[in-house]
């Protein structure tokens, strides 16, 4: 069993990690895809009042910093969790 955060299905994640190589580019592609879908989510919000929208991850990732890769390590780039918040008025 690997160290780090517990996942709901570690065996599935380990099989996927064996077949794929995560990279800065793959993370950017995933973020770009998610960004294209956020408009649909925000459009579906009920139209009354303000909404506090929070976007965050559960951890950062190392992409070669100090020779490290992944997130099962104790390193500042893993401890730095991407986060954004905004007040939005639904339309």
Residue 28 lies in a domain: yes
Number of domains composing the chain = 1
User: Which ranges of 4-73 does DSSP label H, i.e. alpha helix?
Assistant: 10-19, 24-43
Q: Say how far apart CA 28 and CA 8 lie, in whole Å.
A: 24
Residue 82 lies in a domain: yes
Tens digit of each residue's pLDDT (9 = 90 or more) over 42-71: 888 877 788 898 988 877 888 878 888 878
Which of residues 2 and 85 earns the better pLDDT score? 85
Residue 83 lies in a domain: yes
Parent domain of 41: 10-89
Residue 33 above 80 pLDDT?
yes
Residue 6 above 80 pLDDT?
no
Residue 5 lies in a domain: no
Residue 11 above 80 pLDDT?
no
């Amino acid at each position: 069993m690997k160290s780090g955060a517990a996942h709901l299905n570690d065996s599935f994640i380990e099989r996927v990690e064996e077949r794929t190589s995560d990279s800065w580019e793959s993370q950017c592609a995933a973020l770009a895809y998610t960004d294209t879908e956020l408009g649909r989510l925000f459009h579906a919000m009920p139209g009354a009042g303000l909404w506090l929208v929070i976007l965050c991850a559960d951890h950062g990732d190392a992409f070669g910093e100090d020779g490290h890769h992944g997130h099962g390590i104790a390193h500042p780039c893993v401890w730095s969790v991407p986060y954004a918040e905004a007040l939005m008025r639904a339309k």
